[in-house]
Amino acid sequence: MRTITVVTTAGRPDDISMLLAQKACDELGVGFEPRKKRSVVKISEALNANVIVAGKNRYEYYPKGANVPFFFHPNSAAFRLKRIDRGEHDPLLEACQLFEGDSFLDCTLGIGSDAMVAAFVVGKTGAVVGLETDPNVAFIVKNGMGTYDTSELPLTSCMREIKVVNTEALEFLKEQPSDSFDVVYMDPMFEEVIEESNNFEALRAAGSHLSLSEQWVAEAYRVAKKRVVLKAHYKSRLFEDFGFKREVRLTSKFHYGVREKKL
């Protein structure tokens, strides 16, 4: 039996929840399921469905069998941007070597933290595009980036500048001209679990688990004008297998790898 996606409301829906539920149904092309005092788990089991819950303040996404929901939150981007604003270094920015006005393609958007940091650096004269394969995750993140209310600047403006595209990375790359993005970035799901990251666990359940391939790396290299950057677990062999120069970080559980574009 095929897993479908349905939209429901919080336990006690109001007019706003109903409008948000209708928006999700319309944008995703899926059906609405009345809550009827049932738990999300009950609805999911009865319909063999992924469930998106339209609440008063946010959408929550429960993939079939998930114990915790996936929802949009700026996550680590908030405190990373504060550090960057104070002049402190950020490993992603060091690996990407981004500058104001650059274009940045995030092939594996996920919750969008790295894309937000990139958007801060490239500014309004630059461009950030984030690709997300799973339509439900893309909807949650795109909506969250467009509506999340925070007084923390420049976080809000950074979120609003990111273009979220629901597509498979390799197919998108194939359609792009050569040298069309300054930096192409990819962060496939870690092969190893990072226990400390609760937000990552929700994304692990909700997101698509992508495997790096020779074709994907080759297309990324063609599309990149300056460099391709890979993020992976420190135990990963992806860096060596696909020709990335690993930037070792002794106190971190993930590393960055770089492939410079030969000019």
Asked if 29 and 125 sit in the same domain, the reply is no
Alpha helix segments (H runs only) across the chain: 15-28, 40-47, 77-85, 91-96, 113-122, 135-147, 155-160, 169-174, 198-206, 214-223, 238-241
Dihedrals phi, psi of 198, to nearest 5 degrees: -70, -40
pLDDT tier for residue 263 given thresholds of 50, 70 and 90: low
pLDDT for 178-228, tens place per residue? 999 999 999 986 444 444 444 555 565 555 556 899 999 999 999 999 999
Average pLDDT over residues 166-172: 96
Identify the pLDDT of residue 194.
43
What digits encode the pLDDT tens for the residues 41-73?
A: 999 999 999 999 999 889 999 999 888 888 998
Examine the domain organization and report whether 85 and 194 are in the same domain. yes
Strands in 245-247's sheet, in edge-to-edge order, are 162-166, 127-132, 103-106, 181-186, 224-233, 254-260, 245-247
Q: What is the CATH number of the domain that holds 205?
A: 3.40.50.150
Give the burial string for 217-243 (b: 16+ CB within 10 Å, else e): bebbbbbbebbbbbbbbeebebbeebe
Q: Which is more confident, 203 or 236?
A: 236
Which pLDDT does position 197 carry in this prediction? 47
**Could you give the number of structural domains in the chain?**
2
89-139: pLDDT as tens digits: 899 999 999 999 999 999 999 889 999 999 999 999 999 999 999 999 999
Residue 41 sits in a domain of what CATH number? 3.40.50.10480
Query: What global pTM score does this model have?
Result: 0.90
> Averaged over 139-150, what is the pLDDT?
89
Same domain, 218 and 242: yes
On whether both 120 and 250 belong to a single domain, the answer is yes
What is the distance, to the nearest Å, from the Cα of residue 78 to the centroid of all Cα atoms in its chain?
15
* One domain for residues 19 and 50: yes
**Residue 225 domain boundaries:** 77-260
Residue 69 belongs to some domain of the structure: no
Residue 168 pLDDT > 90, yes or no? yes
